[in-house]
Amino acid sequence: MMDDQIVRITSRLVAPFIQLYGIYIILHGHLSPGGGFSGGAIFGASLVLIALSFNLEAGIKQISHQTASVLESGGALGFALTGLVAIAFGGNYLANRSAGFPLGEAGQFFSSGAILVITVFVGIKVASTITTLFYNIIEKEEPLGNHKQTD
Amino acid sequence: MESAGHQPVLIIVLLLISAFIAPLLYRRWRFLSGAVVLAALTGSFITALLLLSKSGASSSLSYHLGNWPPPWGIELIIDPLRVYMLLVVTGVSLWIFIYALGDLKHELHNDVIGWYYSLYAVLVASMSAITLTNDLFNLFVLMEICAITACAIITIKDQRECLEAGFKYLIMSAMGTGCFLLGVAMIYMVTGYLNYSFIQSELSLALTDYPLNIFTAAALFIVAFGTKAALFPLHVWLPDAHAAAPSPSSAMLSGLVIKIYAFALFMIFYRVFPRSLLDTIPLNEIILWLGAMGVMFGSIYAMLQTDLKKMLAYSSISQIAFIFMGIGLDQPLALTGGLYHIMVHAFTKSTLFMSAGAIIYSTGVRRISDLGGIGKVLPLPLFAFTIGSASMIGLPGTGGLISKWYLALGTLETGRILFLLVILASSLLNAIYYMPIVINAFMSGEEFKEKVKIVPLSMQVTLAAGMILVVISGIFSRQVIIFFEQALTSLY
């Protein structure tokens, strides 16, 4: 990987802002363009940026391979379970208002019931998937037969 | 239509949740991971049985996801034909999974088995959803999920030919879904709906105003599902993919995945396209000819193979074409044969791939010519292979006879003697390439020399179950045929 002072310092400066922006996009998914997928992708990109400009170890220090894949399954699981909660409340699968999720006032942050919850889960899932994909590609770069497991 | 309770969606969600939990559990408790997916598959099979008793042979139930009524929301429909397909999907995948529990340890890296369980559950979930959905765009999404997981259970085996075959499959299948999406766009353009039932009533009006759009969409659908289900000229990806995959994946891909697309095409033809469209352009005729060519060429290619699994894969091309011939003849008896063949071939080809897997597991032999005398050392797998071959040929007492019988009746009913000859010829060809293996395995004088490992219990049990299923489908077919007769009256 690259060993360049300028790239390292810039990415270290920029990364927190990218992450903050990613979280913003995820949390405002029900109010403005964006949402779980785009926000998660932005957040995941910041982790990829760190791994690229420093090295894989630095990236893994941010979020380990294992944590990433647990979050990946957890995010999808959360989505599926949110749908089941609707059934428990007497609606159909993934029902929102008719299952009694509080919709709040349109335009407010706490509004839209289940959509906000699902967006957060999708965000977690996408961010962790992007990092896992990237780690997997990097690890596969090592010559075959010399399988080093990082987790 | 009355409401269906939550069972239709629970089948899908149960499988998905087990898929998300399995890799998490696999880190700590390897045993539990398989058990969770097994439990979910059993649960979904039982739920499908409950749905069968609920819907009966004539009524249909509908489920609105998220309480959004159609045409806005996604609708799942339970009707007799869908329940039949759902039972086949959940039942056969449960059966193959038990086999996989024994076989995977020797085919895959230990770290990825948890992911295999997960992919398997997602694949079954997507196939169950494809049978139930009543929404074209939902169908597109599910087809993508199905294609990606199907590729993944091939490439998960870290071998050169698996990666190559998986990549080929991925490209072909992406082309197929691309065509499908374009077709859906064409339909949406002229009708403004994505829900099957709404499109059907709207298309008969739109047909006079925008015939070209609808014809293009129909052509795109045939290419899309033809590619996905390996209909004859579009079959090129299948032999490599099905032969290179780990044996449980081959059984799954040949047994169910290609059939789910044949079923989806059937649904498109009879639930999306209005009767007037099928009467205007000869869609069924196209499918019929492609199917007839597939039946012949699949068998001929299969005769030329030297690798056991590759031969079985080519035989799948010929067998899936029987199902398409059933759709192509467009006649209740032939459709009965085609739909029954979905189940029969799922049983038969899975049994055959499982016995091939058991042979490879215990001896490592793949070449057909090296199988001489193997029946004496591996009696159960080869006996299962014999029963499977008998069903492929269509010998009495096996399921293969029933489906070919009804297809043949269908050709006679429509007066298409040529296609009767095709069916007969293909049976003979099947005998030519299946029987020598069986005869060579049991009756050849030579001793089998390779070292033989003992086949695990779970594999033996599933092979025995496979034999029983093939025979049961051949002897107790009456109930199912009556069920089809009642269900198919709604189409004509």
Task: Return the pLDDT at A147.
Answer: 45
Query: Do B352 and B360 touch, CB atoms closer than 8 A?
Result: no
Which residues in chain A are contacts of B66 at CB distance < 8 A? 86, 91-96
Residue B382 Cα distances to A8, B244, B255, B353, angstroms? 63, 21, 19, 11
Task: Return the pLDDT at A113.
Answer: 85
Dump pLDDT digits (tens) for B215-226: 999 999 999 999
Question: Is B214 domain-assigned?
Answer: no
Give the integer Cα–Cα distance in Å for A145 and B12: 39
Longest dimension (CA), chain B: 71
Task: Return the pLDDT at A146.
Answer: 43
Mean pLDDT across B455-480: 91
Task: Return the pLDDT at B334.
Answer: 93
Nearest CA in chain A to B24: A70
Task: Return the pLDDT at B4.
Answer: 62
Q: How confident is the model at residue A141 (pLDDT cuts 50, 70, 90)?
A: low
| Predicted confidence (pLDDT) at residue B106 exceeds the cutoff of 50 | yes
Question: Is B301 domain-assigned?
Answer: yes
Question: Is B409 domain-assigned?
Answer: yes
Give the integer Cα–Cα distance in Å for B194 and B161: 39
Q: How confident is the model at residue B232 (pLDDT cuts 50, 70, 90)?
A: confident
Task: Return the pLDDT at B369.
Answer: 86
B27 contacts chain A (CB < 8 A): yes
Q: How confident is the model at residue B267 (pLDDT cuts 50, 70, 90)?
A: very high
Partner residue opposite A80 with nearest CB, options B17, B63, B65: B17
Query: Do A73 and B20 touch, CB atoms closer than 8 A?
Result: yes
Cβ under 8 Å to A: B residues 50-79 = 63-67
Task: Return the pLDDT at A148.
Answer: 43
Task: Return the pLDDT at B257.
Answer: 94
Mean pLDDT across B174-191: 94
Task: Return the pLDDT at A66.
Answer: 84
Strand pairing category for B2-3 and B61-64: parallel
Compute the Cα dihedral for A126, A129, A135, A139 and give only its sign. negative
Mean pLDDT across B212-217: 93
Mean pLDDT across B295-307: 92
Partner residue opposite B13 with nearest CB, options A73, A93, A95: A93
Sequence ranges of the domains in chain A: 5-140
Structure tokens at B399: 């399921």
Residues in chain B: 492
Residue B406 Cα distances to A122, B20, B231, angstroms? 49, 42, 21
Which residues in chain B are contacts of A121 at CB distance < 8 A? none
Question: Is B149 domain-assigned?
Answer: no
Structure tokens at B457: 């219990």
| Predicted confidence (pLDDT) at residue B258 exceeds the cutoff of 50 | yes
Task: Return the pLDDT at B217.
Answer: 94
Dump pLDDT digits (tens) for B194-210: 999 999 999 988 888 99
Provide the percentage of residues in chain B whose pLDDT is more than 90: 67
Provide the percentage of residues in chain A whose pLDDT is more than 90: 39
| Predicted confidence (pLDDT) at residue B394 exceeds the cutoff of 70 | yes
Residue B462 Cα distances to B3, B283, B388, angstroms? 36, 39, 13
Q: Could you give phi then psi for residue B95, rounded to 5 degrees?
A: -65, -45
Dump pLDDT digits (tens) for B432-449: 999 999 998 888 777 777
Q: In a 3-state reduction of DSSP, which class is residue B307?
A: strand
Mean pLDDT across B173-183: 94
CA angle B71, B218, B283 (to 5 degrees): 125
Q: Which of A93-97, B60-64, B319-323, B441-445 has the lowest mean pLDDT?
A: B441-445
Dump pLDDT digits (tens) for A64-105: 888 888 998 999 999 999 999 998 888 888 888 888 888 888
Structure tokens at B215: 């014809």
In B192-231, alpha helices (H)? 196-209, 211-229
Dump pLDDT digits (tens) for B119-165: 999 999 999 999 999 999 999 999 999 999 999 999 998 888 899 99
Q: Which domain holds residue B354?
A: 282-492
Dump pLDDT digits (tens) for B113-123: 989 999 999 99
Partner residue opposite A80 with nearest CB, options B16, B64, B66: B16
Question: Rounded to a whole number, what is the distance in Å from the CA of B492 to chain A's nearest CA?
Answer: 33
Question: Is B109 domain-assigned?
Answer: no
Query: Do A49 and A138 touch, CB atoms closer than 8 A?
Result: no
Nearest CA in chain A to B159: A144
Partner residue opposite A73 with nearest CB, options B10, B13, B24: B24
Question: Rounded to a whole number, what is the distance in Å from the CA of B67 to chain A's nearest CA?
Answer: 5
Strand partners, B61: B2, B78
Question: Rounded to a whole number, what is the distance in Å from the CA of B169 to chain A's nearest CA?
Answer: 21
Q: In a 3-state reduction of DSSP, which class is residue B133?
A: strand
CA angle A22, B138, B179 (to 5 degrees): 100
Question: Is B432 domain-assigned?
Answer: yes
| Predicted confidence (pLDDT) at residue B323 exceeds the cutoff of 90 | yes
Q: How confident is the model at residue A144 (pLDDT cuts 50, 70, 90)?
A: very low
Question: Rounded to a whole number, what is the distance in Å from the CA of B106 to chain A's nearest CA?
Answer: 18
A7 contacts chain B (CB < 8 A): no
Task: Return the pLDDT at B3.
Answer: 56
Task: Return the pLDDT at B44.
Answer: 95
Which residues in chain A are contacts of B17 at CB distance < 8 A? 77, 80-81
Mean pLDDT across B382-388: 93
Partner residue opposite B67 with nearest CB, options A74, A84, A98: A98
If you average pLDDT over every residue of chain B, what do you get?
Answer: 91
Tokens 């044969």 map to which residue? Answer: B337
| Predicted confidence (pLDDT) at residue B108 exceeds the cutoff of 90 | no
Mean pLDDT across B441-464: 83
Cα–chain-centroid distance for residue B100? Answer: 17
Pick the more confident residue, B324 or B108: B324
A91 contacts chain B (CB < 8 A): yes
A150 contacts chain B (CB < 8 A): no
Structure tokens at B178: 């691309």
Say yes or no for a CB contact (<8 Å) between A80 and B20: yes
Provide the percentage of residues in chain B whose pLDDT is more than 70: 99
For residue B68, the 8-state DSSP code is P
Task: Return the pLDDT at A1.
Answer: 52
Say yes or no for a CB contact (<8 Å) between B20 and A76: yes
